Structure 1
């Protein structure tokens, strides 16, 4: 995964959003991005479904056929009509994670090395989600302190570990990020 390229693409999207949605006086946009990351992590957990002890359906949502006009009448689905909601939510989280990294200049740190995935405990996905939430909370409470880079590095590493635990390859993650980045630019064009 080419993190420097992803940070650059995210910076371009963030600059566009800043132009079209300028910061309000006193707005803590970093805090909003941290909350957005938590929301996306929750949406990812919802697609994973493994915590839903009350449901007989705990299988991750990794395959959805939406069907275009041509596919609905046929027996096969084109690549554009097959979605992986779990991977899409992971890519959404990665957008905010990269955006936060740009805000606190961690993009420069990652030019020299790529973070390695970290795993909480014995490789339990549930524990991994909870550990990430915990580190994101810590990032919020220390967002204006010097330690925020160290905390961000842990959030990023645990997030990458979660991606691996969910079965994603670096290539899949990068492709999903690129697709969602295109959608996010289109949303800005349409006044989203």
Structure 2
């Protein structure tokens, strides 16, 4: 998946946000990391994948897509903050279930917080993009709806 246009949009948005902040608030990385963890939790809740006690799970696909896009833009924003703006990522269909994918994303985020390396960022982004396949979202779904959610 090529994310060049999405990174450009995120750079512009981050710049507008930083212009409104005081000089002491310019580094937002800790807040972005926490926001991503909160949003990935919201996305997991929306999918209901961990609710083993429910016999019928029926997440709303549109709401799930919206939550996914929020997660994606937070990871893009983290990349902008660290100047890790790779534009080509490999998206792989994974063989483990949705619950395990969410757990893996939390591990990826923790690894990134500890190491903050470009490699750990790429792993985080690739695992998030792979999640889109499991959720049934295409690249065109993501790009088209990104514009809709963030053009307001």
Q: Aligned pair count?
A: 152
Gaps of 5+ in 2: none
Superposed counterparts of 1:27-176, under 5 Å: 28-62=27-61, 84-107=62-85, 109-110=86-87, 114-118=88-92, 122-143=95-116, 148-176=117-145
Gaps of 5+ in 1: 63-83, 184-192
Rounded to whole Å, the distance in 2 between the matches of 1:29 and 1:141 is 16
Q: Structure 1 residues 119 and 155, CA, compared in 2 at 3 Å: closer, same or farther?
A: farther
Deviation per CA, 1:29-62: give whole Å up to 9, x if none.
2121111111111111111011112334422221
User: In the alignment, which residue of structure 2 is the partner of 1:20?
Assistant: 20
Q: How large is the RMSD of aligned CA atoms in angstroms?
A: 1.8
Deviation per CA, 1:131-185: give whole Å up to 9, x if none.
1110001111223xxxx110000000000000011000000011122222223xx
Deviation per CA, 1:60-108: give whole Å up to 9, x if none.
221xxxxxxxxxxxxxxxxxxxxx000000000011011011111221x
Rounded to whole Å, the distance in 2 between the matches of 1:119 and 1:137 is 22
Q: Which has the higher helix share?
A: 2
